[in-house]
Structure 1
Amino acid sequence: MTDSNLIACLYPLDDKPGLDNALRTVRSAENSSRCFEPLIQDRSRQSSPAPGDHSGEGSDKGSEAGSHEGTDDEGSDESDDESDDDTDAGNDYSPGLQLRFDDWRKNQVGFVFGTSPSCDIVLPRRDSLKGLPSRQCALTFDDQGRLVVRDLQDRNKGKGGTAVNYGAQGGQKRRSFSWIVSCHTFTTENTPIVLVLHKNLKFQLVVARHDIGSAEYQQNVAQFASRVSAHVDDLRVSFGGLGLRSPDSTAGPSADAVLLNNGELGRGGQAVVVRVWDVSTGLDYASKEPLTQKSQGRLKGEVELLRQVHHDHIVQCLPGLSTTAPVPRLLLECFPLGSVDDQDNKKAFSAEETLQVLHQSLSALRYLHERKSPIVHRDIKPNNILVHSRTPHLHIKLSDFGFAKASKDNMRTNCGTRSYMAPEMFKREAYNAAVDIWSLGVVVYELAHGLPSRDRERGFDGFQWTEKIVRSVESKAEKSDCYLLIFLSRTMLVKDPELRHSARRCSELARYLDVSSFCCSTILRPSPGDSHTSSYEYYYYDDES
């Protein structure tokens, strides 16, 4: 049964440069109240200093670690940590330090690590640990009850810092910074968690598992701040005490954020999108990175374009952490619900939701097309419309601006996904923003009624396909008097781009649409496996000056 008062255990990391220093920390008289003996004695291992043994204080002579190490200047912002993948093995043979809810502490902020005797975990002063501060970091809780490591050093200091490794990831040194180390799937799945206090002093942090929602756990966390001695060395003024607030989810990550790979979200021919986890907030973001040298230029353009765009129905770029050099990287808000295509395959969109996709997408296109230098998306399709929320109300955002271009002039590059491309794009002639209106019209028609079938054995003919869509919409509109179909056939799915309506005009007319006048039937739509959307076909012919 889990000890409800246990917070975490610290074990010396079994690497030769720092093992002796870590063992001395565990065995020191100052930390004896928290020290526990190995569960299994291993006589083959090198004996460690007994509690109260201060031999070697201020010097490394006579110690295995010190005999090979000189002084250390902690000047880099990146950890020099050499990872040890076998850190779990041998904990039963290792002494350690136990941190508990019912422990009395010397500091209000939490369990403070440092060389000062006023710290809760006193670190040794040795030649091989030169640069360790009097107060380095603390283990404490944030306002969501998650255990965090908080560096207590001056952010502007040029040396020192703390680092945390999560399995094979992490290790970046930071000052005045927080790392979440519990109550998240990432911390559970990426172990061991290693606390790096110095190049030559590291501990494996094993956090006790608790039900964060239980009344007992919440009470323990609430009372954590009060478990301090009478003569407390109060750090609340400098660091806000225990009130480490979980950052605002809308603020985005800080400029020095540590973002770790949390699994692939999607992959195309040009780029891969990876879910990244912010160690300080616990929030996920999407990181888009190029797969080829050729695609770097396109992603760079996408970063530069999205930095200028701000709209409620366009995916938000996080400019501070999106880069264009040396290798471009686009950091975006994350969408756990996926795309319209993903959601529609799980549960077909209702008539009300389809109308919202139309309204919100037209709002985004109106914003893009009416800019001083109009932005044409050129690849609108269900996979590029992301779902921010579906309940209680649908909220979508246009994404993937890899083919987008800002220009007052007509364009010539035939690009996009062939099933959604406008008729004029297949002619390899100049075109304008009207191509986006056609593509969105195809998306809405697909959600409401499904698209006509295609004979894949005969190959794809863009002219025949667009003609087939027009005939299908017009035929169904005549037979059903569905106002949505009539709207699409007269404003958006019009072969002649000169007769196709603008985003502004479509948006104005769409306000008069009423779902009660729709005849959409998800029963009549093709199943996802039969639909052409199960296999998107990209088309790119560069003939643009």
Structure 2
Amino acid sequence: MSFKRVFKQFSGSTLPRFFGSDKEVDEFSQKYQYDPKEKLGEGQFAKVYKAYGKDDGLEYAVKVVDKRSLSNLDREGLKLEIQVLEEVDHPNIVKLHETFEMKGKIILVLELVKGGELFDRIVAKESYSERDAASVIQKVAAALKYCHERKIVHRDLKPENLLLVSETDDTSVKLADFGFAAFCHDELDDGCGTLVYVAPEILRGRKYRTSPDMWSLGVITYILLCGYPPFFDTDQEALSKKIIKGKYKFRQEDWQNISEDAKDFIRGLLKRDPEARMTAEDVLEHPWISNLAAVPDLPLSTMQKELREFLAKERMRKALGAVIAINRLRNTLNAFAFNDVDGDDDGDDDGEEGEEVREEDI
């Protein structure tokens, strides 16, 4: 059942309570089977299970959303997420196959990808190279180009949302979790995302379309090559200010074996000025991406160690609940964010003269 049909009757900014039908319950049960014991994951409002198609025998991921736990705003967000997913069909984006509305539940039948999160795979591997990183970024950029051409911005591009297709292929990646995605035919100004990867224009409260995704891609690329982010601080407000200033470093001991093309690629993405930042199309034409055979294939052993430590600290931070809503941060940053912090907003590379990006007690 298409959620375009489910939602088209609604108008206004809030959605009425959903009511499912026995017919829809029967339709789902006739087509799919899942065992509650085969749980793949769990969030605040949803649980994800492995499911099997009764007709085709294929495996799927079934996301079961508890309607009763959703606020009106959450329902609006789910509506938008489903509308976006129904618009996209790309080999590097997790596919939505069907949706069902039932009593108390909303069910999304999604493509099942078995390879796990990208960064988990990297730290588990014996070796990972700059060429591997470029190959992954190429696929993510292709997915972003596809979305941006359709006026869709993801707005939460981060490693957890980059999933590997299989347990044996280390570079075939799919973009997942469109919970913060939006159509950007008109400019947006919402504050959302995950702080380490959030673009300066979002923290500054500026209007935007697709540019935040490209900044996030730059942050991910930086981490893929050295194992830690370009901007970091234990204090979230201090981290926000570092992101707004946009200054970072290529530390000699960690970047001496990384190609100049890779550094140039990152400079093109980590521009404070969104207008100067590379687009997804620019990314795919950059020599670091367009000529993979020329990218160095040497192991990045130091990167894997740094990445392992970064992931452990990030997970500890999440477990302790050290996550602050972007909108709350923006409210405290107004005076700083709207000031032209360093007298230049032209997007030029400030990077190699910036603040330290690592601290011993992250």
Indicate if the aligned counterparts of 2:192 and 2:326 stay in contact, CA closer than 8 A. yes
Structure 1 residues 32-111: aligned runs within 5 Å: none
Report 1:279-428 matches (<5 A): 279-291=54-66, 292-294=69-71, 295-319=74-98, 322-323=99-100, 327-347=105-125, 349-371=128-150, 374-389=151-166, 391=168, 394-428=171-205
- What are the residue-to-residue correspondences of 1:455-494 with 2, within 5 Å? 455-456=233-234, 458-466=235-243, 470-473=247-250, 482-494=259-271
Aligned-CA RMSD value: 3.3
With a CA cutoff of 8 Å and minimum separation of 6, indicate the structure with the bigger relative contact order. 2
The amino acid of 2:121's aligned partner reads Q
Q: Specify the alignment match of 1:274 in structure 2.
A: 49
Q: Deviations over 1:75-118 (max 9, x none)?
A: xx99xxxxxxxxxxxxxxxxxxxxxxxxxxxxxxxxxxxxxxxx
Q: Deviations over 1:109-133 (max 9, x none)?
A: xxxxxxxxxxxxxxxxxxxxxxxxx
Contact 1:412 1:429 (C-alpha < 8 Å) held by counterparts = yes
* Residue identity in the other structure for 2:79: K
483, 505, 513: which one aligns with 2:282: 505
CA contact (8 A) 1:362 1:506 kept: yes
Distance in 2 of aligned mates of 1:173 and 1:288: 17
Please report how far the alpha carbon of residue 513 of structure 1 lies from its aligned counterpart in structure 2 after TM superposition.
5.1
> How far apart are the structure 2 equivalents of 1:273 and 1:499?
40
Residue 258 of structure 1: aligned partner: 32
Question: Distance between the aligned counterparts of 1:407 and 1:285, measured in 2?
Answer: 30
Amino acid paired to 1:493: L
* Larger Rg, first or second structure (1 or 2): 1
Q: Which residue in the other structure is 2:308 paired with?
A: 528
Equivalent residue letter for 1:276: A
1:541 aligned to 2:315?
no
Deviations 1:490-510 (A, max 9, x none): 321212111101100111112
TM-score by length of 1: 0.47
- 1:541–1:463 Cα change, 3 Å: closer
Distance of 2:246 and 2:123 partners within structure 1: 21
Please give the alpha-carbon distance, in whole angstroms, between the structure 2 residues aligned to 1:339 and 1:481: 24
Identity %: 28
Greater share of strand residues, 1 or 2? 1
Specify whether residues 285 and 277 from structure 1 end up closer, same or farther in structure 2 by C-alpha distance, changes over 3 A only. same
Question: Does the 8 Å CA contact 2:152/2:184 hold for their aligned counterparts?
Answer: yes
> 1:307 aligns to what SS in structure 2?
helix
| Partner secondary structure for residue 323 of structure 1 | strand
Gap runs ≥5 in structure 2:
1-21, 331-362
TM-score by length of 2: 0.69
Q: 3-state DSSP class of the match of 1:408?
A: coil
SS of equivalent to 2:189 = coil
- Encode CA deviations 1:467-488: one digit per residue, 9 max, x unaligned: 6874124878985562343233
Q: CA deviation at 1:438?
A: 0.9
CA contact (8 A) 1:285 1:332 kept: yes
In 1, the alpha carbon distance for the partners of 2:26 and 2:63 equals 24
Aligned length: 290
Q: Secondary structure at the match of 1:315?
A: coil
Shift of 1:418: 0.9
Which residue number corresponds to residue 218 of structure 2? 441
Tell me the CA shift for residue 279 of structure 1: 4.5
Offset of 1:281 from its aligned partner?
A: 4.6
C-alpha separation in 1, matches of 2:324 and 2:281:
28
Counterpart of 1:265, as a letter, is: L
Q: Take 2:176 and 2:157, find their aligned partners in 1: how far apart are those partners?
A: 9
- Cα 1:478–1:331 change in 2 (3 A) is closer
Higher helix share: 2
User: 2:47 is paired with a residue of what secondary structure?
Assistant: strand
* Whole-angstrom CA distance in 2 between matches of 1:431 and 1:476: 36
Conservation of the 8 A alpha-carbon contact between 1:342 and 1:383: no
Q: Distance in 1 between matches of 2:276 and 2:254?
A: 19
Distance in 2, matches of 1:520 and 1:428, equals 40
